[in-house]
A and B are shown apart, each in its own frame.
Chain A
């Protein structure tokens, strides 16, 4: 007799339940980040003085972090590819590589924020910096959460267990990458 709950074994849509759940998470995240970014865009257009505030962000930090996240996305999809072929050890290695990308991202962000705060651009400076730290901070929290989950999945994958989860964390990670793809031009390029 199976001990798995019915909710994890049935599928009205033909999509495995875990995968469907991750897509619903992504959908709800679209509303969270979309709402935040839409608010930023409308305030940016309504406040011409924000152009000067935005000129103080450093596109090189943003560019380096975009490169890091795009590369970590490649690593995540290669982990999925390995898991699909039943190679749990290889999948685990790629997942750890993806986490390493996340770690570099957070380190770059820490250096960037330290420099900005030292120059007086704190979260209370004005509306632009409030949005900047809120949006980038929320995104960074998603990166950290993704890394923690990925390490747990990598540990199982190394033993050849629950390999389907490698794809699920990959979907989440690629979404976090896509959010940054939009944050980068909004906060660093359009000045």
Chain B
């Protein structure tokens, strides 16, 4: 009986439905950056100036990516009916990744701190931004 219910829950039509949802989410994530400036403008028009275009892009890009990954893991990899051991295993590896990010990102994202300075990174940012600026001015003149 339980097996029958499981099969009914994960029948072919269920998988096709999940795939359909994933495609809709993909469309939204592609349209997000295109519509973001218009949504920002419309939001400012109705007094919701705190809504910014970059927020829309982040939400439609990464918010949707997380939800899509959840849908695939839960429904296609069957993590929702897998033994808890697997969820704990994956959570452990994800935690290791977060620890890695937390431990190293301050030194990479910032180029200056107390008693240290990443001279090479600062010089590269400076050089590249100046080069991009001169390229864009050159483009305007041409």
Interface residues of A (CB under 8 A from B): 13-15, 23-24, 26-28, 30-31, 34-35, 38-39, 41-43, 45-49, 52, 59, 63, 66-67, 70-71, 73-74, 76-78, 81, 84, 126, 170-171, 174-175, 177-178, 181-182, 184-185, 189-191
Q: Which among A35, A77, A84, A126 is the interface contact of B97 at CB below 8 angstroms?
A: A35
Say whether B26 contacts A49, CB under 8 Å: no
Least distance between A39 CB and chain B CB atoms (Å): 8
Nearest chain A residue, comparing its CB with the CB of B130: A49
B142 within 8 A of A: no
Say whether B29 contacts A13, CB under 8 Å: no
Q: Which among A67, A177, A185 is the interface contact of B61 at CB below 8 angstroms?
A: A185
Say whether B30 contacts A74, CB under 8 Å: no
Least distance between B4 CB and chain A CB atoms (Å): 13
Q: Which among A63, A71, A78 is the interface contact of B30 at CB below 8 angstroms?
A: A63
Say whether B12 contacts A46, CB under 8 Å: no
A-B contact pairs, 8 of them (CB 8 A): A14-B83, A24-B89, A27-B90, A27-B92, A76-B76, A174-B73, A177-B76, A185-B61
> Chain B residues with Cβ under 8 A from A81's Cβ?
10-12, 15
- Chain B residues bordering chain A, tally (CB within 8 A): 54
> Chain A residues with Cβ under 8 A from B68's Cβ?
181
> Chain A residues with Cβ under 8 A from B60's Cβ?
189
* Assembly CA distance A28 to B89 (angstroms): 10
> Chain A residues with Cβ under 8 A from B110's Cβ?
46
Query: Of residues B12, B29, B111, which shows the largest number of chain A Cβ atoms within 10 Å of its Cβ?
Result: B29
Say whether A175 contacts B85, CB under 8 Å: no
Say whether A67 contacts B101, CB under 8 Å: no
> Chain A residues with Cβ under 8 A from B23's Cβ?
67, 70
Say whether A34 contacts B12, CB under 8 Å: no
Name 17 extra pairs, CB < 8 A, besides A13-B85, A15-B86, A23-B90.
Answer: A14-B83, A24-B89, A26-B90, A38-B100, A39-B104, A46-B109, A46-B111, A52-B132, A70-B22, A74-B18, A74-B19, A76-B76, A78-B12, A81-B10, A181-B65, A181-B68, A184-B29
